[in-house]
């Protein structure tokens, strides 16, 4: 497809959506890099050199941006490992939103969240050399559990950097799947820096929770399944934290349903994605505070934003109070447990942040990992 036509179509879709809402030479450079690469190798330990080979630090211009072909390849890799989660409906939800809603229940996925798809795909895509020394990740919980479980299933050791205030249920599950956990303070320490150091020391492959092409491709399989199961939809609404699920979903939806409107939903306290989309560049914010622990990030990923800026129509926000009310709706009316982050997209629709009257709407419920003590406390505080 002509890129200019693709971009023009995207801009037209976004404008239409907003209207409805009312709102030196290359050769010398290569020679220099090759010479210095050989010199640098002599100064590294074998583990550090393996880390640099497995985990090159790409310049923005050299990012490997996944495509829908990568999503289809991911589907083949995770087949038989990831669940094909059900699509749920509710006449009460339909009446409340004035639309036909289809909930993709990734809260029923292995390890309790969509993250299993991307983690399993990223590990499966590694070669034998890269898998030998294990994998390292950083996560507030769901990617931690998913990576630990996916690594165990594939016979790969895993180390996960987690915040000290991560939900107890997520820490316990990550340990239970056999991963080593290294704790950090999310407000004073840099989890990416800690993870990179550990991976370099061990020669391990670093698999971040969202800013990784194979992770994005794996996450895109959820929307692919949703569209295959329910057919054409007019609107796809997806939770947004770092952008792995939204970017992957956008790859699938744009390829299969070019006219579909795609909207991300993030916590009101952490609207870095919304700011980034409207500014046209990645915006970094201070660490936000929200009950949506899976969406507590300071900025979207570079790989992710390269997709979001071209394929996503809008990003809206919801409050913590709206997330709690949406959790209650799922528990009382649909008899399922959905964690706060998993409720983001549904809250956006059920509380009117997204106009969808008369539309066929696909909503991704991203996870259900919340301990019963916290769940009861949130729903009990009417």
Tell me the pLDDT of the chain (382 aa) as tens digits: 444 334 445 555 555 555 445 433 332 333 333 333 333 334 444 444 444 444 544 445 579 999 999 999 999 999 999 999 999 999 999 999 999 999 999 999 999 999 999 999 999 999 988 899 999 999 877 898 999 999 999 999 999 999 998 888 888 989 999 999 999 998 889 988 999 999 999 999 999 999 999 999 999 999 999 999 999 999 999 999 999 999 999 999 999 999 999 999 999 999 999 999 999 999 999 999 999 988 999 999 999 999 999 999 999 999 999 999 999 999 999 999 999 999 999 999 999 999 999 999 999 999 999 989 999 999 987 5
Q: Is 266 annotated as catalytic? A: yes
Q: Is 249 annotated as catalytic? A: no
Sign of the CA dihedral with 236 first, then 241, 244, and 247 last? positive
CA pair distance 195, 201, nearest whole angstrom: 10
Catalytic-labelled residue, pool 130, 139, 140, 252: 140
Give SS3 for 233: coil
Catalytic-labelled residue, pool 70, 106, 112, 115: 115
DSSP string, 155-188: T--EEEEEETTS-HHHHHHHHHTT-EEEEE-TTT
Q: Is 115 annotated as catalytic? A: yes
Catalytic-labelled residue, pool 266, 293, 313, 314: 266
The tokens describing 96, both together, are 């409340």
**Predicted model pTM:** 0.84
Q: At a CB cut-off of 8 Å and minimum separation 6, what does 228 contact? A: none
Q: Is 366 annotated as catalytic? A: yes
Give SS3 for 361: strand
Question: CA-CA distances (angstroms) from residue 222 to 114, 253, 357?
Answer: 7, 10, 24
CA pair distance 344, 346, nearest whole angstrom: 6
Q: Between vectors from CA 304 to CA 19 and to CA 280, what angle results, nearest 5°? A: 45
Instruction: Say if residue 208 is exposed, middle or buried (CB neighbours under 10 Å; 0-12, 13-18, 19+).
Output: buried
The tokens describing 335, both together, are 């008899």
Q: Between vectors from CA 15 to CA 230 and to CA 250, what angle results, nearest 5°? A: 35
Catalytic-labelled residue, pool 70, 106, 214, 272: 272
């Amino acid at each position: 497809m002509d890129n200019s036509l693709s971009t023009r179509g995207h801009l037209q879709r976004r404008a239409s959506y907003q209207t409805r809402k009312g709102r030196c030479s290359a050769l010398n450079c290569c020679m220099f890099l090759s010479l210095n690469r050989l010199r640098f190798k002599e100064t590294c330990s074998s583990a550090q050199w393996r880390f640099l080979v497995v985990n090159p630090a790409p310049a923005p211009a050299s990012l490997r941006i996944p495509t829908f072909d990568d999503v289809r390849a991911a589907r083949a890799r995770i087949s038989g490992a990831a669940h094909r989660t059900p699509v749920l409906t509710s006449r009460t939800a339909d009446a409340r939103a004035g639309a036909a809603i289809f909930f993709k229940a990734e809260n029923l996925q292995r390890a309790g969240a969509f993250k299993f798809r991307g983690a399993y795909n990223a590990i499966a895509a590694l070669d034998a050399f890269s898998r030998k020394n294990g994998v390292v990740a950083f996560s507030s919980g769901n990617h931690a559990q998913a990576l630990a479980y996916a690594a165990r299933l594939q016979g790969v050791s895993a180390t996960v950097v987690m915040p000290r205030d991560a939900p107890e249920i997520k820490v316990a599950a990550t340990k239970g799947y056999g991963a080593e956990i290294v704790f950090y303070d999310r407000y004073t320490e840099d989890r990416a820096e800690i993870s990179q150091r550990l991976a370099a020391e061990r020669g391990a492959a670093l698999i971040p929770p969202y800013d990784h092409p194979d992770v994005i491709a794996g996450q895109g399989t959820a929307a692919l399944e949703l569209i295959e199961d329910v057919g054409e939809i007019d609107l796809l609404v997806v939770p947004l934290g770092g952008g792995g699920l939204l970017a992957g979903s956008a790859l699938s939806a744009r390829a299969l349903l070019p006219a579909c409107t795609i909207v991300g939903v993030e916590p009101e306290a952490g609207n870095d994605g919304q700011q980034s989309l409207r500014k046209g560049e990645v915006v970094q914010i201070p660490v936000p505070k929200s009950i949506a622990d899976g969406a507590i990030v300071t900025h979207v990923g570079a790989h992710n934003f390269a997709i979001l800026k071209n394929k996503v129509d809008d990003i809206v926000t919801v409050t913590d109070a709206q997330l709690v009310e949406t959790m209650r709706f799922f528990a009382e009316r649909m008899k399922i447990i959905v964690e706060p982050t998993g409720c983001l997209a549904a809250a956006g629709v059920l509380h009117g942040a997204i106009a969808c009257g008369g539309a066929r709407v696909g909503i991704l419920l991203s996870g259900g990992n919340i301990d019963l003590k916290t769940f009861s406390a949130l729903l009990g505080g009417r």
